[in-house]
Structure formats: structure tokens, C-alpha cells
Amino acid sequence: MGYFDAASAAPLHPVARQALLASLDEGWADPARLYREGRRARLLLDAAREAAAEAVGCRADELVFTPSGTRAVHSGVAGALAGRRRVGRHLIVSAVEHSSALHAAEELERDGGTVTQVPVDRVGAVDAEAFAAALGDGTALACLQSANHEVGTEQPVTEVAEACRAAGVPLLVDAAQSLGWGKVQGDWSLLTASAHKWGGPSGVGLLVVRKGVRFAPQGAADERESGRAPGFENLPAIVAAAASLRAVRAEAAQEAARLRELTERIRARVPGLVPDVEVVGDAVRRLPGIVTFSCLYVDGETLLHELDRAGFSVSSGSSCTSSTLTPSHVLKAMGVLTEGNVRVSLPPGTPAEDVERFLEVLPGAVAAVRERLGAPAAAESAPQTGADLVVDAVGRRCPIPVIELAKVIGDVPVGGTVRVLSDDEAARLDIPAWCEMRGQEYVGEERAERGTAYLVRRIK
């Protein structure tokens, strides 16, 4: 079985398993108590905090453990905004942040604050100068992930941190995807992470608040974890999380080089094995184990089921997955194809043989899905019959509107147009992306009696 979804949750590291089992016997007592069992638990908690702080590159008293990475982001954003309320209520995020940060931004807007989303380029990276330009006198906080969870693109954290420091604005870095590979560089102010991303147990997050950062924990007061993460600490999981972070860091340099070679193999070979594929994300500044590509004329959920039957577990940010039925906000912000999206994220230790077998299986899986959907063959063309055509795809979800467009584009002469009628929001993203991939001109959209009309001009 090829488990290729480590960006969602990495398999439990052997060191994490050993530490978890050992601390179940030694770390069950209340670390706030002064008797023998409590002191033993406190020693384990302090040691875990020291180890995690060393891995992050902060002081131990700047780091607290939270019940999850999402809770760390929510607590970090809320506490920093509350601590700087007198400065203003303006928050800056990138357009490709994890949903936890975007949900925190939505909460601020509902409460009367303002949010600026800094756009990204086609590989998913923000421009540091554009981020700096968004900073203002009323900016209370800025948020930027160290690397993207869907496409692996690394962000210019050091440059953005410099701009934030010059403007006197704290920067919160979501390091969930990258912390297992190394420390986050730059003069950041707050940092969050999640243990299950690096092979620790689920249910443990990190929140780091540098000394000097104004921070006001929100919610009812609690004496544990500096008042920033209320509730009894899950000490066995915390010990396992810290132990596994130290272990994966010791292996990171060698394993990163190996996984980069494997993901580069996928990036280079998939476009030759499967027609009409777009590999997305930065080709150089990216995490070692993530590679993402989108397949034209493919339903993402169906493709995932095909690959699952073949023994491969991958994920998708496709607009057609049943979990959301909405386009991936990351792919949407990048302006790339959202349909048929496949994210391969290799856990440490992935055998090269598994990658080779995946490359053997993928072409047949994609072809099977396209055949069921009635997609056109790569070289298929039709005689030119008229100047303009209308494709009625109202009531049909992507990728069907794009498939129907591809079937008839050859029916119009060069310079002729195809008008695609659709009421699926994903068509607004995927039709322009199809034009970009196939060298056709996307003219724009118009309101129609039924749905929206998307105009495409044939130019070759």
C-alpha cells in the first residue's frame, strides 16, 4: 500500500510510539502537583518543552502546547489581535493560508475588523513587496505560512518578517508543513505548528509567542500553559510529539534530498505519461515531499477512488471532491486548473519502488476516469462547421463543462467563439485555466438567462 498523503497526517514515527508508550506509565499524573508523581510528570513536560523549543529556535518559556495546530492558529491570532487592539483591527493574510487562518480572519471581519488578502503568483508564492505594501498604521497582525499545504511552495518568510519588523507589526508564521524539515528563518514574532504533520501523535499543537509581543489570551482564564492553552495537558502525546520532532530533524537533511529526487521524478514524468496535465507549485522553492498536478477532464473524487483501488492513498484539492463541492481556495488564488487535482505528499521512508509503481498505475487510472466521463482524446479534432457555437452545460458540474468545451472547440474556425453556459462556480476558474493550457483565448463571461456564459475564442 502506498500512503502518499503525509501532508495531511504523517505516519507515527517509531520514536513517537516508543515515547508515547513509556510516558503512559510515567507521565499520567498532574504536573501541577508537588508530590512525587506530579514532580515526575512536570520533569517530562519541561523536558518536552525544552526539546520542542530547541527545534523551533525559541526560549522554552515562549512555547506552549495546544490541543491541535488549528487551536494554536486560532489562539495565536485572537491573542495577538487582542493584545494590539489599541493599534487597530486590521489583519493581513496571504490568499493561500490554511483554512484555520482564513477562518480566524473571517471571525475578525464578523466582529468589525478588516482583513487584507495578499494575492499569490501562479506558483503560489506571495510577493514580499506586495505584502509589505499592505502594512499600515492600523495593522495589528500579519499571518504567513512557511510553506503551502496543497502545492508545497515555500513562502518568502524572511523578507516578509523584515518588512513587518520595520513597520512594527508582529508576524505569525504557520509552520505546520515545514517545521519537521527545519527551523523557520526570519525575525518572526509568533509561530504555530502541529505534531501529526511530522510524525507525532495527533492532538498536539505548538504556539510560540516571542518575548515582547503584546499578547492577551482570550477566553476564560486558566493557570496552565501560561494561560494560553487551557485544560489538562495531554502529557504522553506531548512527550511523543517532542521526541519525534527531534528524531525527524536528525534525519531531515538526508531524507529531504532523497524525497526531492522522488518528487522531481514525478514532476518530470507525469506530463509525459498523462496527456493534458498541469504540474503546479514552485519547481525549486518547495517542500521536499510534495508534488501536485491537475488533470483536465477528470473528476477529482473519482480519480482518488481509482488510485485507492490500485493501492495508493493521495489527496485532492479538486473542486469536485465531495467534502466541499467548492474549488480549492489555494488553486483558485493561483489561477491554475482546479479540476482533477492530485496532491502526492511522500512520508519519510517512502520506497522508490512505490513511486515507480504509482507512475505505472496513474495513466490507466486517469484514462479510465476520462473514458467514463466521455472526455475527448488528446489528439481528437473535428471539422470546422461554423463561426460560433453554444454549449449548454447548465446543471452539470465540472469537469463536464470543460469536457464539452474541448469536444467542440475544433468545430469552429480560427477566430470563432464557443459560448459555454454553466451554473457551476468552478467553471469560472477551470475554463480560463483550460484556455491557458490549450493555447486558446478566454474572452470573458456574460450574464445569461440560465447561469453564466463563458466565451472562448479559438486562436489555433
Which among 285, 315, 280, 270 is positioned nearest to 429, based on CA atoms? 280
Whether the Cβ atoms of residue 343 and residue 7 lie closer than 8 Å to each other: yes
DSSP 369-436: HHHHHTPPPTT-------SEEEEE-TT--TTHHHHHHHHHGGGS-TT-EEEEEE--TTHHHHHHHHHH
Active site residues: 320
Q: At what angle do helices 14-26 and 235-273 cross, to 10 degrees?
A: 170
Rounded Cα–Cα distance for residues 372 and 378 (Å): 15
Cell of 212: 515582547
Neighbour order of strands in the sheet with 63-66: 63-66, 205-209, 190-194, 171-174, 139-145, 90-94, 114-118
Nearest to 133 by CA among 148, 115, 118: 118
Report the C-alpha gap between 66 and 202 in whole angstroms.
11
User: Of 337, 282, 289, which Cα lies nearest the Cα of 155?
Assistant: 282
Phi, psi of 100 (to 5 degrees): -60, -40
> How far apart (Å, rounded) are the C-alpha atoms in residues 34 and 85?
38
- What's phi and psi for 201, nearest 5 deg? -75, 155
Distance of CA 210 to the CA centre of its chain: 25
Angle at 357 between CA 353 and CA 362, to 5 degrees: 150
User: What's the one-letter identity of residue 72?
Assistant: A
- What angle (nearest 5°) sits at the alpha carbon of residue 104, between those of residues 102 and 107? 115
Phi, psi (rounded to 5 degrees) for 44: -65, -40
Nearest to 179 by CA among 242, 257, 86, 98: 242
Tracing cell 496543497 back to the chain, one arrives at 150
Rounded Cα distance, 333 and 324, in Å: 17
The answer to whether 443 and 458 are in contact (CB under 8 A) is no
